[in-house]
């Protein structure tokens, strides 16, 4: 089963830059997209396309903001939207799909860069997500993809020292990822690649992508019990159209 994740930074914009062509050639069974920026009610514009079915969750608190979607050609057993606690709902951040032998999460985690209140919201969302994932993990394993908005270690961004006080690389954000790994979740890309220089997001300014001055903030994690079934994980930095590029996971699944 091939799973892909991509923060498209506006679905309508990336469609004009070859999104459907990329999708048809991806071989993906399920694609999680983040930052669709679709408004509620406009999701039907992107219905059954290219052999994929779709499910969307858009922000209800702000137009043209956030939003996630899944395109799939393997039918899930069930689909859920948002976290159970209403305190974390409304921004269009999470789709949950249950397959035969794992739960799949597509998540656009909050950005903590707009002040202390949003940083607290981001950290709270992290904790609420982990609690929910752990509850479901009692039933079957977990796969989670998306834009985590945090680079975990100094290997995961170009200028670690210069960004130690920047949201996305703050000690408390990185500490949550430490705890996530300690709870038994595996960064699948790091199963295959131990070196730095591999990024999934580049600032549009200063030709950062041309110079590969980036951050790795888009991930596929699996719960430990799925580790033996991970066949490969990768970053497809040859794909353009957004300030992020797609990331992928291939896993044995029934």
Catalytic residue positions? 108, 147, 244
What's the CA gap between 104 and 55, in Å, rounded?
13
One DSSP character per residue, 3-48 reads EEEEE-S-HHHHHTTTHHHHHHHH--SEEEEE---PPTT-GGGG-S
| Residue 93, helix vs strand vs coil | coil
CA distance 36 to 14: 9
Q: Nearest CA to 7 among 191, 152, 148?
A: 148
Tell me the binding residues: 7, 35, 147, 149, 243-244
Listed in order, strand segments (DSSP E) in 60-195 are 68-72, 78-81, 94-98, 103-108, 142-147, 185-187
Own/partner pairs, 119-126, CB within 8 angstroms, 24+ separation: 119/167, 119/170, 119/172, 119/173, 122/149, 122/167, 122/173, 123/172, 123/173, 123/176, 124/87, 124/88, 125/83, 125/88, 125/93, 126/176, 126/180
- Please state the φ and ψ torsions of residue 164, each to the nearest 5 degrees: -65, -20
In contact, 219 and 156? CB cutoff 8 Å? no
Beta bridge partners of 139: none
Residue located via tokens 């699948």: 188
Answer whether 214's CB lies under 8 Å from 202's CB. Answer: yes
Annotation: binding site for Mg(2+) = 7, 35, 147, 149, 243-244
């Amino acid at each position: 089963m091939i799973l892909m994740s991509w923060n498209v930074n506006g679905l309508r914009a990336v469609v004009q830059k070859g999104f459907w062509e990329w999708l048809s050639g991806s071989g993906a069974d399920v694609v999680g997209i983040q930052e669709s920026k679709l408004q509620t009610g406009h999701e039907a514009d992107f219905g059954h396309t290219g052999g994929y079915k779709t499910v969307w969750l858009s922000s209800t608190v702000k137009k043209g903001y956030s939003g996630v979607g899944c395109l799939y050609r393997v039918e899930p057993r069930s689909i859920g939207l948002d976290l159970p606690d209403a305190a974390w709902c409304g921004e269009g951040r999470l789709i949950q799909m249950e397959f035969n032998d794992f739960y799949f999460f597509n998540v656009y985690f909050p950005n903590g860069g707009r002040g202390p209140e949003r940083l607290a919201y981001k950290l709270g969302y992290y904790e609420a997500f982990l609690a929910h994932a752990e509850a479901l993990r009692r039933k079957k394993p977990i796969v989670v993809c998306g834009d985590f908005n945090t680079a975990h270690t100094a290997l995961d961004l170009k200028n670690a020292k210069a960004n130690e006080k920047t949201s996305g690389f703050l000690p408390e954000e990185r500490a949550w990822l430490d705890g996530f790994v300690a709870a038994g979740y595996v960064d699948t890309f790091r199963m295959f690649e131990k070196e730095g220089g591999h990024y999934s997001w580049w600032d549009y300014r200063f030709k950062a992508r041309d110079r590969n001055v980036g951050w790795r903030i888009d991930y596929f994690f699996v719960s430990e019990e799925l580790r033996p079934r991970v066949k490969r994980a990768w970053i497809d930095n040859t794909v353009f159209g957004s300030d992020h590029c797609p990331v992928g996971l291939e896993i044995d699944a029934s």
